[in-house]
Structure 1
Amino acid sequence: MPERNIEFGKYGARGLKGHEAVARRLDSLAGFVATPVTARRGLLARLHYLTRTDHSLRAAREAGLTVTDRTLRAWLAGDRSPSRANLARIETAYRTVRRNNVARYLLARLNREGRGTRVEFHPLNQSQVPRPRQRALSYRTLNVRHWDRIVQAWAAGDEAALDEAWVTDAVVDLGSEWGQYEYVTSIGFAA
């Protein structure tokens, strides 16, 4: 695609790809458990979420939590503690299941029956770029009306699809200078 940055940061610019900022914002809207999985409270919260229903347990198993029911009961009772590898699997399964459960709700909130959601683009940080090489960038806003592919890629954890969906469904609508907002300091929107 034209306008894609090939050597981002060559002259000292700092920022992150727009789709990464969107994924972070969607993660914050998803409302993950704040307590780390290494703490007993965080572990129990995740395990209760993953074992609450048969559907959740099936989704957790599909997401990589492949321990027996007996082991799960022992973890919930506090008789045994999961290994570091199992803690990582629990965290991955929890985030995957939570994203899938919240995706439909977020999609409805972001699309707002066709009205869309206003998105704020905060330009990249050029404070370390020498003056002659700095570009004139400004804070921009845009109303994104189609979130379907963006939320679907986020829920699936597919970074390449999220990047493609973000660029084609949102950023291109900024007009001829959309390539300047491929990297940003942050992306802001509410749902």
Structure 2
Amino acid sequence: MPERNIEFGKYGASGIKGYEAAARQLDALAGFITTPLTTRRGLLARLHYLTRTPHARKAARDAGLTVTDRTLQAWLEGRRSPSRKNLHNVETAYRTVRRHNVARYLLARLNRQGRGTRVEFHPFNQSQVDRPRQRVVSFRTLNVRHWDRIVEAWAAADDEALDEAWVSDATVDLGSEWGQYEYVTTIGFAA
């Protein structure tokens, strides 16, 4: 697409891609377990979430948690501890299943029966850029009405699809200066 930044940060600007900031905000709305996985409480909370029903167990297996039921039971009872690799698999499976479970709820919340949700674009940081090279970029708001592709890509953890959906369904509606908001400091939702 035109206006995509090729050498972002060349003169000292800092920020993150808009779709990454949107994904962080969606993660915050999803309400993941905040207790660290390395603690007993955090591990148990994730394992209970992944094993409480047969449907949850199947989803966890589909998401990459491939240990036996006997091993899961030993972890739940505290007789054994998962390896680093299995801790990573538990966290990945938990986030995948949680995203899938809350995607429909988030979609309804963000679309608000066609009214959409107001999004705040906080521009990238130019404090380290020399004065003559700074752009005039200001805080902008926009009402995004179509969240289907954005939430679908976020739930699938597909960064490329999320980037494309974020640009075409949200950022382009900012007008002719939409390329200036490809990188941002943060994105805020009024959801």
User: TM-score, structure 1 length as denominator?
Assistant: 0.99
Cα distance in structure 1, aligned partners of 2:63 and 2:30? 18
Matches within 5 A, 1:45-64: 45-64=45-64
Counterpart of 1:47, as a letter, is: L
Q: What fraction of aligned residue pairs are identical, expressed as a percent?
A: 81
Matches within 5 A, 1:119-158: 119-158=119-158
Matches within 5 A, 1:1-191: 1-191=1-191
Q: What is the root-mean-square deviation in Å for CA atoms of aligned residues?
A: 0.5
Counterpart of 2:151, as a letter, is: V
Cα distance in structure 2, aligned partners of 1:24 and 1:108? 18
The SS at the match of 2:141 is strand
Cα distance in structure 1, aligned partners of 2:44 and 2:72? 11
Cα distance in structure 1, aligned partners of 2:171 and 2:152? 17
Cα distance in structure 2, aligned partners of 1:172 and 1:27? 23
Counterpart of 1:99, as a letter, is: R
Cα distance in structure 2, aligned partners of 1:68 and 1:117? 43
Counterpart of 2:166, as a letter, is: W
Structure 2, unmatched stretches of 5+, are none
The SS at the match of 1:58 is helix
Could you list the per-position Cα deviations for residues 54-90 of structure 1 after superposition, in whole angstroms to 9, with x for gaps in the alignment?
A: 1111110011100000000110011111011000000
**More divergent stretch after superposition (52-61 vs 142-151):** 52-61
Q: How many residues align?
A: 191
Counterpart of 2:149, as a letter, is: R
Structure 1, unmatched stretches of 5+, are none
Cα distance in structure 1, aligned partners of 2:57 and 2:151? 23
Structure 1 residue runs of 4+, over 3 Å off? Answer: none
